[in-house]
Amino acid sequence: MEVIRAKRAGACYGVQRALDMADEVIADGSRAYTLGPLIHNPQVVADLAARGAEAVDSVEEIRWERAADADAPAEGAATAAGDAPAVVIRSHGVTPQVLAAVEDRGFTVVDATCPHVSRAQHAAAELAAEGCRVIVVGEAGHPEVEGLRAWAEEAGGKVDVVAAPEEIPEGLYDPVGVVAQTTQRRENLEAVVAALREAGLEPIVKNTICSATRQRQEAAADLASAVDAMVVIGGRNSSNTTRLAEVCALTCPRTFHIESTDELDPEAFADCRRVGVTAGASTPENQIAAVEAFLRAL
């Protein structure tokens, strides 16, 4: 059985940058925390925790007693004294309020926000500052999207999050600005913009979709049309990986979205001559290599 990797697959620049920054923090044994999972990959998050970078849901969960200050921060999951622990801002970014809370509590801030996400945050804030009603094309509740919403609201804007044209609220009037979650499909952004124009609006569009997402989707689609089965590797909580699996399934119904080799059933590939492999932008090389080795051994 031939195992073929997509031409573009695996950890993107922003993810690798975040991992490198976290590794640098914990390399000397320093205490560190990430606000939420650093990236949407459960295996990576577990590994970081084992090596000293614990994921917490909020700043309040980190308790640190200043060596020269008897007043400790709010009760939380961790207690220590002396040098301030490092708080790594995850690749999806955080709201301005959370960033301010980290700084106010005296923690060492390591901002691993993906540069593409930072660009989208600034775009949303700029549109809001210019008086636009801001439309965020993305998944409501996703940490990156909530960050985009918060940065626009911080700049004084009113924000709507829409996942599809049918979710566009009624009664909009110019000026309207549009930004997109960095992992959205370009077609989805274009559909929302087209619907706004059909409603008589002239939206100001900031295309904040990351090229890495598009490249992985195009490479996966090309490969999926030429193989008997596709394996898509990455966290189920990763929106870009989930979307990658959806793209593959359009042309290759036998598509498997997995997080590790434990989920692969050898019988599912018994009649396959060619199997394609791709991975989301939050999937490191070692996880891809492990899946390829498993498949080649069948």
Residues with catalytic function: 144
- Residue 182 known to bind ligand: yes
What is d(CA 4, CA 282) in angstroms, rounded to the nearest whole number? Answer: 20
For residues 178 and 192, the answer to whether their CB atoms sit within 8 Å is yes
Q: What does the alpha-carbon distance between residue 42 and residue 171 come to, in Å, rounded to a whole number?
A: 42
282 marked ligand binding residue = yes
Q: Which of 153, 145, 149 has its CA nearest to residue 129?
A: 153
Is 92 annotated for ligand binding?
yes
Tell whether omega for the bond before 143 is within 30 degrees of 0, i.e. cis: no
DSSP for residue 277? E
252 is in an annotated binding site: no
Helix ranges, the chain (H): 13-26, 42-50, 96-104, 115-129, 143-154, 186-198, 211-224, 239-251, 285-296
Residue corresponding to tokens 């890495």: 212
The tokens for 54 are 């614990």
Reduced to 3 states (helix: H, G, I; strand: E, B; else coil), residue 137 is strand
The response to whether 118 counts as a known ligand-binding position is no
Q: What b/e sequence results for 188-212 when a residue is b if at least 16 CB atoms lie within 10 Å of its CB, and e otherwise? A: bbeebbebbeeeebebbbbebbbeb
How many other C-beta atoms can be found within 10 angstroms of the C-beta atom of residue 135? 28
114 is in an annotated binding site: yes
Distance, CA of 278 to CA of 295 (rounded, Å): 13
Token output for 177 = 């600005």
Residue positions in the annotated binding site for dimethylallyl diphosphate?
A: 40, 92, 142, 238-240, 282
Residue positions in the annotated binding site?
A: 12, 40, 92, 114, 142, 182, 210, 238-240, 282
